[in-house]
Homo-oligomer: A and B are copies of this chain.
Amino acid sequence: YGKNTIKFLRLHREGKKQFVKEVEVCAHLRLTSPQEYLEGNNSLVIPTDTIKNIVLVLAKKNGIPSLEQFAIDICNHFMTTFCQVAYVKAYVQEVPWQRLHEDGVPHIHSFICVPDGIRFCEAEQCRNGPLMVFAGIKDLKLMKTTQSGFEGFYKNEHTTLPERHDRILCGELFCKWSYGECKDFDFNCIWKKIRECILEAFAGPPDCGEYSPSYQKTVNCIQMFVLSRVSQVQVIEVVLNNTFYNVVDMKNLGLTNDKEVLVPVEAPYGSCACTLGRKKFFEA
């Protein structure tokens, strides 16, 4: 199969007000015949350059009302135009430009990049199969400075980790969910709601939080919360890359460090991941 990445900007005006969408699109194609590989016969090959042109033309004609709709448009175009395409996947990721505000007043044409979680989506289709839509958020860095511990784990002769009931929980979240075959949702609105659900499930109530007994349990809480609040989500995958922090031992320096100064533990680092659906449970 082949994969191609294109970056571009889509501008749009309403009166004097300007709107901007900068995206990176990655199109995966698999053809019905492997003759290009086996025989060096290029007659069915769609060049990278043509794929780029198609993506830019679709952006010009349709705009990008939502990342998901644009990914669906790309899939539809390749499936309907090229009978040699057996499979197509369109991945779309957004550069997080936000409109600038001055004293609360939105600026008509100025933007600032605010990468606090990157929005992405995927649409994929096999010939004669359904068009499936996915969306997600990545590079979302979160931290809880208390209400997190790790106790009661399995121990043997290789165990040196002490039990802790008040540690830092910090990590980078990747979250991807499936909308199934449904394509008429208000994708922008749902995405914002899911992002809020993730933050709420991670943090717990603002006045007291909620105790996390492990990264794994926090992953599960996020999944359960999204599934319970957003009915359009069918399956949700969460990966949490852990960043551990150790309280610095200052005894040799004559000081008591009451969880005030901590250093990140660069190695080992880890991640935990889980995929959760509506009826069946499957851990990947």
Residues of A within 8 A of B (CB): 1-12, 16, 18, 20, 30, 34, 36-54, 56-57, 59-61, 81-82, 84, 97, 100-102, 105-116, 140-147, 150-154, 156-161, 168, 196, 199-200, 202-209, 213-214, 216-217, 219-220, 242, 244-245, 248, 250, 252-255, 257, 259-264, 266-274, 281, 283-284
Is A38 a contact of B206 with CB atoms below 8 Å? no
- In the complex, given contacts A48-B244, A108-B208, what are 14 additional A-B residue pairs having Cβ atoms less than 8 angstroms apart? A1-B273, A2-B270, A2-B273, A9-B264, A37-B217, A38-B220, A101-B206, A110-B145, A111-B144, A112-B116, A113-B141, A114-B114, A115-B115, A158-B253
Interchain nearest-CB distance for A260 vs B (Å): 6
Is A145 a contact of B5 with CB atoms below 8 Å? no
7 contacts between A and B (CB under 8 A): A5-B267, A48-B244, A57-B250, A101-B206, A112-B141, A113-B142, A114-B116
CA distance in complex: A220, B52 (Å): 25
Within 8 Å CB of A203, what residues of B?
100, 102, 107, 110
Residue of B nearest to A212 (CB): B40
Q: Which of B147, B161, B217, B261 contacts A109 (CB 8 A)?
A: B147
Within 8 Å CB of A42, what residues of B?
150-154, 213-214
Residue of B nearest to A111 (CB): B143
How many copies are assembled? 4
Residue of B nearest to A205 (CB): B102
Within 8 Å CB of A106, what residues of B?
206
Within 8 Å CB of A244, what residues of B?
48
Is A260 a contact of B10 with CB atoms below 8 Å? yes
CA distance in complex: A168, B22 (Å): 12
Is B108 a contact of A207 with CB atoms below 8 Å? yes
Within 8 Å CB of A205, what residues of B?
102
CA distance in complex: A12, B266 (Å): 23
Within 8 Å CB of A50, what residues of B?
154, 156, 158-161
Is B199 a contact of A112 with CB atoms below 8 Å? yes
- Pick the 9 closest A-B CB pairs, nearest first: A113-B141, A110-B203, A266-B266, A49-B161, A40-B217, A4-B270, A40-B213, A37-B220, A52-B268
Is B266 a contact of A267 with CB atoms below 8 Å? yes
Residue of B nearest to A140 (CB): B112
Within 8 Å CB of A153, what residues of B?
42-43, 45-47
Is B5 a contact of A48 with CB atoms below 8 Å? no
Question: Assuming the A-B contacts A43-B153, A47-B153, A109-B146, are A268 and B5 also in contact, with contact meaning beta carbons closer than 8 angstroms in the complex?
Answer: yes
